[in-house]
Amino acid sequence: MFNKKNKEDKNKESAFSLVQKTYKYFFPVAWRVNKGFFFVSAIKILVDAIQPFVAIIVSPLIISELLGDRDLNKLLIYAAIIATVGPLLSFIGSWLGVVNQKYGEKFDNYFTEDLSRKVMELDFQVTEDKRALDQVEAARTGMSWYSGGVVGIFSPLFEIIGQIIKIFGTVLLISINAPLIFLVTLIVVIINSLIQNKQNKIEIESFKNLSKLNRAFGYYGWQLTDFKYGKDIRLYGAKELMIERWEGYTDESIGSWKSKSDKQHPLEHLTNIINVSRDIFSYLYLGISVLSGGISIAVFTQMIAASSTFNGSMVSLIYLLQDIVKKCNYAYDYVKFADYPAAIEKGSRHIEDGDHIIEFRNVSFTYPNTDVEVLKGINVKLRQGEHLSVVGLNGAGKTTFIKLMCRLYDPTDGEILLDGVNIKEYDYNEYMSLFAPVFQDFKLFAFSIRENIVLDDECGDGEMNKIIEQVGLKEKTESLEKGTNTNLFKAFDENGIEPSGGEQQKLAIARALYKKAPVVILDEPTAALDPVAEYDIYRQFDSLVGGKTAIYISHRLSSCKFCDRIAVFSEGVIKEYGTHEELVELDGGVYAEMFKAQAQYYN
Ligand code: ADP
């Protein structure tokens, strides 16, 4: 849906429309972030364009004077102009270049942050799509490395104006004195631009390949030096496999670069040969013109300088045009990513305060890009304050049921209703705020204990401390020198603590309780615990939840005794539904069997 479509779109779109869309996207943002860049670039271009004309115009005057009157005053003035004006303009040009470099860093920071924000705002289901991850990588590398960012795509645009000024000036001088030179240079420029065009195509092709490789590199080079993989790598001897994979990707990457330069080198040689031939022709033609008295020596030097500037500017102009297409092609991956269509439609309906009823009506679901229906015709109704236990073996569809309820995915069939209205109609953020789930693979951040619980909420200590006490972390936090301001993990703080598995679960539960959402969900965050410890956590949690709607998921039955209803999931359907008392009585029932098997833990 993502990258493949992207490639097709790019192929279909003309270079011009792609360039146009890229500038249309970036100009308003860049202008808002930093107007200074555009003013500085405009001045720099004027300065750079005027600079070569100082020598082109003044040098022939010096030669004429030397061959003619030899007026010392005039010669000194000409020499002074060349010695001061040229270097001064050159100095101003490079100083403005340095200013622009600083602006470049500002843009880089802005877009790096923008990309991170957009990634965090992506619809959840997109984040499980491999092609989406490739696209994020293409956007990141395309914007920061290959296109050179905002400076990279706008600088050539300004430089084109500068080159046009130079071309206009030199064409004027050459067409008056040596039109043939003008013609030959023009032909050479056209041939060179065709070669350059081919070079660019090779480079773009290589970029596409490398952006995939970079993602793999990112995984092996960065994620796996993360200490959290340390135990598994050592105990399962994964080191060799890691290194092997890393080396595999390195070889592939080197191969890709080599193949690129193998294709590009012969083209570079061809360009050099054409340029040398052009120079030989120019010198011969102008030399003969001087000897035959067609032009003076002063004009000869002026023509040599002007044709060299004209040629340089034409080459630059063509190069810049192609450079724009190339860089916009890279940066366009960012535009595509930024404009990526939402995976689920979002409504605008406001959710009324008060009690809520959630209902699944004939809901079926198949994960994107798969063909197995993991939920089939689910019907269930959850009233305000009701506590539902969802049990079933691994892979039965319990977590998927929760993902649908939290709208991380939309059903493939059927509908989910909140207070009788399809949840798609509600404002997405408002709907999400109804839920406080603790997933099995919950993540705590390398922030302080306090920030992990309240995030950026500005609250007094009272409420947070109450929750810390409720989840049983009071003693632990009080024993720490910095209390709730103690950092977790060692990523940013060498004194950061490494909480035990149980403590992490308690923190995650505290975070969910603090959210004050009307529906709380525990999705097996206790799977790593033994059944008795799990039972304790669920019992404790149930008393903390109070009158909220609660859903407990487990493949053990620890949570069931506290719940009003139990839904037994099996192979994507709700096999049994009822109270604990009803279900244990069912002859040959799945629940009754599971309960019998696990009874030793709960009696
Ligand atoms: P449970 O929570 O009961 O263990 P899940 O809801 O996690 O079960 O999974 C149900 C089925 O859906 C399993 O077969 C699982 O492999 C599959 N599944 C889960 N997540 C995904 C996904 N992101 N993409 C494709 N299939 C998935």
Note the pLDDT tens digit of each residue in 279-298. Answer: 899 889 989 988 998 888 88
Q: Which atom from ligand 1 is nearest to the alpha carbon of 370? A: 25
Which two three-digit tokens encode residue 443? Answer: 């993540």
For residue 526, what pLDDT is reported?
63
Closest-CA residue, ligand 1 atom 15, reads 395
Residue 116 confidence class, pLDDT cut points 50, 70, 90: confident
What's the average model confidence in pLDDT over 224-237?
64
For residue 445, what pLDDT is reported?
87
> Distance from the CA of 384 to the center of ligand 1, in angstroms?
27
Task: Identify which has the larger pLDDT, 7 or 155.
Answer: 155
Q: Is 398 in the pocket of ligand 1 (CB under 6 A)?
A: yes
- For residue 426, the surrounding DSSP H or E stretch is none
pLDDT at 231 over 70: no
- The CB-based long-range contact list for 290-295 (8 Å cut-off, 24+ gap) reads 295/177, 295/178
Q: DSSP class of residue 145? A: I
pLDDT at 400 over 90: yes
Instruction: Give this prediction's pTM.
Output: 0.67
Residue 129 confidence class, pLDDT cut points 50, 70, 90: confident
Q: Which atom from ligand 1 is nearest to the alpha carbon of 394? A: 4
For residue 29, what pLDDT is reported?
94
C-alpha span between 403 and 423 (Å, rounded): 13
Q: Is 133 in the pocket of ligand 1 (CB under 6 A)?
A: no
577: left (phi over 0), alpha (psi -120 to 50) or beta: beta
Query: Measuring CA to CA, which residue among 163, 509, 446 is closest to residue 318?
Result: 163
Q: Is 104 in the pocket of ligand 1 (CB under 6 A)?
A: no
Which two three-digit tokens encode residue 541? Answer: 């949690």
Per-chain mean pLDDT for the chain: 86
Distance of CA 430 to the CA centre of its chain: 26
Q: What is the pLDDT of residues 403-415, one digit of tens each?
A: 999 998 999 999 9
% pLDDT > 70, the chain? 92
Q: Between helices 149-177 and 36-67, what is the axis angle to 10°?
A: 30
Residue 500 confidence class, pLDDT cut points 50, 70, 90: confident
- For residue 380, the surrounding DSSP H or E stretch is strand 373-382
Which two three-digit tokens encode residue 95? Answer: 């100083």
What's the average model confidence in pLDDT over 75-91?
92
- Most confidently modeled range among 133-142, 246-255, 411-420, 584-593: 411-420
Which two three-digit tokens encode residue 32? Answer: 């808002």
Query: Is 44:51 a contact under the CB 8 Å cutoff?
Result: no
Which two three-digit tokens encode residue 320? Answer: 């810049």
Task: Identify which has the larger pLDDT, 112 or 364.
Answer: 364
% pLDDT > 90, the chain? 34
For residue 310, what pLDDT is reported?
85
For residue 4, what pLDDT is reported?
46
For residue 174, what pLDDT is reported?
87
Closest-CA residue, ligand 1 atom 1, reads 395
Query: Measuring CA to CA, which residue among 57, 285, 36 is closest to residue 181?
Result: 285
pLDDT at 358 over 60: yes
For residue 236, what pLDDT is reported?
66
Q: Which atom from ligand 1 is nearest to the alpha carbon of 375? A: 10
Dihedral sign computed on CA atoms, order 445, 446, 451, 452: positive
> Distance from the CA of 373 to the center of ligand 1, in angstroms?
10
For residue 243, what pLDDT is reported?
78
